[in-house]
Each structure stands twice: as C-alpha cells, then as structure tokens.
Amino acid sequence: MGEKILLADDDPDVIEVVSMILEEEGYEIVTAKDGSEALEKIKLESPDLIILDLLMPHVDGFAVMDMLRDPRYQRWSDIPVVILTSVREEVSRRRYELETGRPMEYAAYLDKPPDPDQLLETVAALLKSGHGN
C-alpha cells in the first residue's frame, strides 16, 4: 500500500468522494469525523499527509492546526497539512491569527468540492517533496 493520508472531515460525502479518488491512486486512507478524532489518529497512525476540514464539530480544524504546534505533537509537526474547506482562505487565515496570534501554516489550501485532478496533483507533489510551503 502507498503513503498514508489522514482525511479529517465531518461530511460523509466528502469522506467518500475524496477517499475514493485517493484510494484509486494507491494511497492508504485513514479517516476522522472531527478534530479530536483526527488528533488521536495522528498519534496512532503517523500519516504522511493530513487533509483537514476547518469547520467540524467538537474540535475544529483550527484547533488541530494549533495543536500540531504544541510540544506534545512535536514529532508530527512536519506532516504536511492540506486544508480542504468551503471557507475562503483569507477568512481562515484571519480567524486563526486572531485566535492564536500566529500565522496559519499549511502546505496547500483547496476549496470544496475539490477538483480531483488538483487534489491528486497537490497530494502527489507534497508527498514527493516530503513537505509543504
């Protein structure tokens, strides 16, 4: 099996479509329905890449991004994160910076619904390079 990707999204349709696109290319997909489950799966699975929705119940994607900078998650802090959301990029950046006082760092930002070719190109490029921007 190929590289392992954690897909964190509360929308079952997004999980199904994105998983299908990536699994057809040989990637192993691990899913999470919210941020707290995503954080558990990061520790358990040590994925090669994270695809993260920002708006999820309980613990949202913004909190996951923040936790990845926490010393307890140090060994996973280099995993590239692809944001996949319906929120405009500028709005997300502003909210994160206001909440944390830090710039939001991620490897790529994709709008929902994702274009399959763009999704695959982004994932392949990040996994090939081993990191994001």
- Domain 4-127: homologous superfamily in CATH: Response regulator (3.40.50.2300)
Nearest alpha carbon to residue 110 among 98, 123, 125, 94 = 123
Amino acid letter, 56:
M
Domain positions in the chain: 4-127
pLDDT for residue 132: 43
Q: Would the pTM of this model clear 0.75, i.e. be above it?
A: yes
pLDDT tens per residue, the chain (133 residues)?
589 999 999 999 999 999 999 999 999 999 999 999 999 999 999 999 999 999 999 999 999 999 999 999 999 999 999 999 999 999 999 999 999 999 999 999 999 999 999 999 999 999 997 554 3
